[in-house]
Chains A and B, each alone.
Chain A
Amino acid sequence: MKPALRNPKVLAGSAIALLVVLAALFGDWFSVHALGQDPHTLDYLVINQPPSGHHLLGTTGSGEDVLAQTIAGARGSLVVGLVSALISTALGILFGVCAGFFGGVADTVLNFITNLFIVMPVFALTLIVAGYLNNTGTMTIALIIGVFGWAGGARSLRAQTMSLRGRDHVQAMRMLGESRTRLVFSEVLPRLYPLISAMFLHAVIGGVLAEAGLAFLGVSSPNTISWGTMIQNAQNQNAIINGLWWWFLPPGFCIAALGTATGLINFGIDEIANPRLGAARRAAQQAVKAA
């Protein structure tokens, strides 16, 4: 882990991600005690106020404090991101590793299902299934996003597992009579962790983006504040054509920041784990310097 944290990209990404996690954990407490604002408090005396000393990021059309809402939104968005990422990563491992390791009929069937989910219009499916379900709670939304979003990861895991299965250390353990379960869990899976963690990070931001997109289209859980529902409220109450930029800019910026953070971490890990990328870069840089 040490070399990873010395990488400036990983460091910057982790710092931003940590900030979001802290906001999700202690945001409510912070808003109430440090800012003196509760994200749920409606104050009809101060609606649509631009940023000021009292409301640092202004107020919404119902007089809620935008900064407090943005901090509270971290939890709503992150919970959906994490839960959906857990589900999709678990499904991805199940389908990808099983298909790659067992081969044969299992592979044919599992790989077919994976390919099917890759070519399906996932966002439209998610939207429609959520549309059929009338009461969509946060967990339902996360579940739908996760169930429809695992296929890409499964495909790369399958390819990696197939290559690992033929390696000497796995073959050796097989000769020694290790059970298949043990082979998968102690020989194959540990070597997939870098790929799995990258997939997971990718899925978190994918889940956050999908939740925001669904909320924007009106599929969200009422009473939950997330960055997506904030933008949806702003859109519904015509924040754009009334010029209330302070209302819809902060939540989108936060999503983008979280996305960049996961992107940077993945980039950094890739640089460390994939020496070829680094070597190619160095060679090319030298070529540039020489020219």
Chain B
Amino acid sequence: MSSGTRRRAIAFARRLRFYVIAAWSAVTLNFLIPRLMPGDPAQAVVQQLEVKNGQNLPPQTVEAIRKLLGGVHENIAVQYWHYLGNLFTGNLGISTGNFPTRVTTLIGTALPWTMLLMGVSTVLAFLIGTGIGALCGWRPGTRTDSVLSPLSTFLAAVPYFWVALFALWLFAFRLGWFPLAGGHDPDADPSSPRYWLSVLHYGLLPALTIVFSSCGGWLLGMRNMTLTTTGEDFVLLARAKGLSNTRVLFRYAARNAMLPQLTGFALALGAIIAGSVLTETVFTYPGVGSLLKQAIDNRDYPLMQGILLFTTLAVLVANFLADSVYVLVDPRTRAQGGDAS
């Protein structure tokens, strides 16, 4: 009993260690990327701002930009130290494209939109795909399976943004059922019910395209895992015991087939922000993805760097949580002490 608890604690500590080192690597990578790139990103930013403002920047501003992006005439270790200090105080610098707004403010405004749209549709796609996949794998060769599985192979290979463009053309342009761009009715008052209804209306088409595109991947994964699990002895035993079909499917086969799906789900949740770039670009949705696209178009390096850091940390946190849940669901990982992945 106590040794089990201890083993669990060790496994937990190991995973925590991996994620702490991973977070540190991400932060360091974020520090190194602009410094390893050819040219002088910091100088480009300074020039951009000077052109924009029509006057020279005060020396302390130039200094701050150089501290963030490199090119300052300081030892690299000192630069790194300053950079870490800035991170801990939540200072990610100032966006050059939206001067003088702080990067953290921009991300903070955009984040709820992305979380809402991408979060809801990712969860929906996972539930629908996994559910249908379990049924297809349970009864392979039935009509549903022989139509859905090849269709999913096709859907998994369709570029997402192409599906989104097509949906935008068909449902918003031709049929006029949905608005062409934006995240909410620009004329509605943010506290009125009309505003919230418009948020739903504007978000529905992007959400549907995500569910449509990513469902197939979940379906195929779950189908093949269920198919493999169905051949295992413990499922045979459950059948031999005379348990009902539904019980064998849900409590024995699907429960075990789910495990790899959960890992995938964690990765998908973490990848939400990165994945939102394409969706939000097609639908001109006001989230972090649009912000990143805008940052790249404007060569807004501080914003790019801030979003990259933020995205990476989100992925790490999502994976850590998923790993922790995984241990509770799958007893085998506990016994082996847990792999960091």
Contacts and interface: CB of A to CB of B under 8 A. Distances in A.
A231 B162 contact: yes
Contacts of B37: 129, 132-133
Contacts of A114: 341
A250 B264 CA distance: 31
B281 A280 contact: no
B296 A259 contact: no
B157 A263 contact: yes
Contact of B296 (A209, A218, A257): A218
A231 B308 contact: no
B228 A280 contact: yes
Contact of B157 (A122, A255, A279, A280): A255
Given A127-B292, A240-B173, A119 B281 contact: no
Given A115-B340, A240-B168, A256 B154 contact: yes
Interface stretch (A19-27, A52-60, A189-197, A281-289): A281-289
Given A121-B312, A281-B227, A288 B141 contact: yes
A191 to B, nearest CB: 21
A124 interface: yes
B141 A284 contact: yes
B333 interface: no
A11 interface: no
A160 B299 CA distance: 43
B195 interface: no
B209 to A, nearest CB: 13
Contacts of A123: 271, 274-275, 277
A199 B143 CA distance: 30
Contacts of B38: 133
Given A252-B162, A277-B224, A115 B168 contact: no
B32 to A, nearest CB: 11
A112 B307 contact: no
A284 B140 contact: yes
Interface in A216-252: 216-219, 228, 231, 234-235, 240-241, 243, 245, 248-249, 251-252
B231 interface: yes
- In this complex, the member of A132, A258, A263 whose beta carbon has the largest number of chain B beta carbons within 10 angstroms is A132
Interface string A255-285: 1111110111001000000001101110111
Contacts of A205: 157
B41 A235 contact: no
A216 B174 CA distance: 22
Contacts of B316: 119
Contacts of B34: 132
A124 B311 contact: yes
A124 B22 CA distance: 17
A134 to B, nearest CB: 7
A256 B228 contact: no
B98 interface: no
B65 to A, nearest CB: 15
Nearest to A152: B267
B18 interface: yes
B156 interface: yes
A264 B299 CA distance: 41
A17 to B, nearest CB: 12
A281 B140 contact: yes
B230 interface: yes
Interface residues of A, number: 60
A224 B41 CA distance: 27
A251 B135 CA distance: 34
A132 B33 contact: yes
B256 to A, nearest CB: 14
A290 to B, nearest CB: 12
Contacts of B270: 119, 121
Given A131-B296, A133-B38, A213 B168 contact: no
A112 B141 contact: no
B181 to A, nearest CB: 9
B180 interface: yes
A212 interface: yes
Nearest to A151: B341
Given A123-B274, A216-B281, A280 B227 contact: yes
B173 A241 contact: yes
A285 B140 contact: yes
A216 B230 contact: no
A127 B224 CA distance: 32
Interface in A75-108: none
A128 B308 contact: yes
A139 interface: no
A277 B168 contact: no
A184 B168 CA distance: 52
A260 B312 contact: no
A259 B293 contact: no
Contacts of B341: 111, 114-115, 118, 155
B325 interface: no
Given A217-B281, A217-B293, A252-B162, 8 more contacts: A120-B312, A121-B271, A123-B274, A127-B277, A251-B162, A267-B153, A280-B140, A288-B141
Complex A-B, nearest 9 residue pairs according to Cβ-Cβ distance, in ascending order: A259-B157, A252-B162, A280-B231, A124-B274, A121-B274, A131-B296, A263-B153, A256-B158, A132-B37
Interface of A: 111-112, 114-116, 118-125, 127-129, 131-134, 155, 205, 209, 212-213, 216-219, 228, 231, 234-235, 240-241, 243, 245, 248-249, 251-252, 255-260, 262-264, 267, 276-277, 279-281, 283-285, 288
